[in-house]
């Protein structure tokens, strides 16, 4: 049929021979050719192997891996479990505290030894904070507080009336502590003074952070507590439900983040220094226990099951952890800078980021 049509066009003189010559080699689909399905076994027609490495997510979409080295644990420290808090004044000098009066320290950033408080205590020690090498505090259950003078720890719990869970300061005479039953205490360089109760009671306060004359306490309530030199007042965290915050940290007085959980769901709220706003898109890795910030765009968050999150001030990301068992709860984080960061865990492990 195709040949007949071409012949007719030639006779009429309306066919371009150059066109004809360029098409003579084309396949004649009108002939009785084999129209069976192409052989899919041919290499160029095979379905791509989705298992091939070049079809995996590109490396920049994979969770980054951060490795940690264990520096100490309870077995290395005479069964002292420094499992609640860690803080220091530089990358060489740090203390960690924990249950049953456990206090350990390092003076070279890697080797840890046990410290005996005077007088000794068996109370659970919940938090530790330093201003510098000469000013620091340890606080804990049953109205426990010890002051650091650069050489020794001395009991100094006068006027404390509650379990104390958290402590932070901005000067030797400007230290704030918080604890059970909404208790807020201030240290003026000589004595502790309890602030008036806040109603309704927000419950146990677990975390404290501050700068200058402004401090923030968070705990078992939808409400956070904003503290300054003259007032103490609650501020809604914008979470609702049964929010429980375990830790708070900031890079500035107008950039503070609190983390915790509602049931088994990860939560976080951010403050501009006055009001709190719920942060969305927090990866749900369970209960969040600790936060520390190297800067406004580099925040580290520790969770149960050895999980670590990062927050850059806008976006959240998961981190693949190497070196911390996935059976651990990360209870606290502290760093002297972005390159020197330590984690402590529920079982008393002390880990440093490599």
CB of 143 within 8 A of CB of 155? Answer: no
- pLDDT (tens digit, 9 = 90+) per residue, 300-314? 999 999 999 999 999
Taking 50 as the pLDDT cut, the residues of the chain under it are 2, 4-15, 17-38, 40, 43, 52-53
**Which two structure tokens, joined as six digits, stand for 266?**
């990860």
List the domain boundaries for the chain.
165-320
Region at 203 (left for phi over 0; alpha for psi -120 to 50; beta for the rest): left
3 state SS of 304: helix
CA distance 206 to 86: 14
| 296 and 252 Cβ atoms separated by less than 8 Å | yes
CATH code: domain 165-320 is 2.130.10.10
The structure tokens listed for 10 are 């030639």
Distance CA 179, CA 123 (A): 14
Sign of the CA dihedral with 280 first, then 283, 289, and 292 last: negative
Per residue in 59-100, pLDDT tens? 556 678 999 999 999 999 999 999 999 999 999 999 999 999
In whole angstroms, give the CA distance from residue 84 to residue 93: 18
Residue 292: which of 227, 216, 343 has the closest Cα?
Answer: 343
Quote the pTM value. Answer: 0.82
Tens-place pLDDT, residues 251-271 = 999 999 999 999 999 999 999
């Amino acid at each position: 049929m195709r040949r007949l049509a071409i012949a007719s066009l030639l006779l009429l003189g309306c066919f371009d021979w150059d066109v004809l010559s360029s098409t003579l080699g084309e396949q004649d689909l009108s002939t009785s050719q084999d129209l069976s399905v192409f052989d899919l076994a041919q290499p160029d027609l095979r379905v791509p192997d989705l298992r091939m490495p070049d079809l995996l997510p590109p490396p920049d979409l994979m969770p980054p891996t951060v490795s940690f080295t264990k520096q100490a644990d309870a077995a290395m420290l005479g069964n002292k479990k420094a499992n609640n808090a860690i803080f220091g004044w530089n990358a060489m000098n740090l203390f960690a505290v924990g249950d049953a009066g456990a206090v350990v320290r390092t003076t070279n950033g890697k080797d840890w030894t046990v410290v005996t408080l005077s007088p000794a205590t068996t109370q659970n020690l919940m938090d530790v904070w330093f201003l510098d090498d000469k000013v620091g505090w340890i606080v804990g259950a049953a109205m426990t507080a010890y002051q650091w003078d650069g050489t020794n720890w001395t009991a100094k719990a006068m006027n404390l009336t509650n379990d104390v869970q958290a402590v932070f300061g901005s000067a030797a005479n400007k230290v704030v502590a918080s604890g059970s039953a909404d208790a807020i205490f201030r240290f003026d360089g000589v004595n502790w003074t309890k602030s008036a109760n806040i109603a309704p009671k927000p419950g146990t306060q677990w975390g404290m952070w501050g700068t200058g004359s402004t401090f923030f306490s968070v705990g078992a309530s939808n409400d956070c507590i904003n503290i300054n030199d003259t007032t103490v007042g609650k501020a809604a965290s914008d979470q609702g439900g049964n929010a429980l915050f375990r830790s708070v940290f900031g890079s500035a007085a107008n950039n503070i983040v609190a983390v915790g959980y509602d049931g088994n769901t990860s939560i976080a709220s951010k403050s501009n220094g006055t009001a709190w706003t719920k942060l969305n898109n927090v990866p749900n890795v369970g209960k969040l226990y600790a936060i520390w910030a190297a800067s406004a765009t580099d925040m580290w968050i520790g969770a149960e099951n050895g999980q670590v999150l990062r927050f850059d001030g806008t976006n959240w990301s998961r981190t693949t952890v190497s070196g911390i068992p996935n059976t651990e709860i990360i209870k606290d984080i502290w760093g002297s800078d972005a390159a020197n960061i330590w984690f402590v865990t529920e079982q008393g492990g002390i880990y440093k980021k490599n």
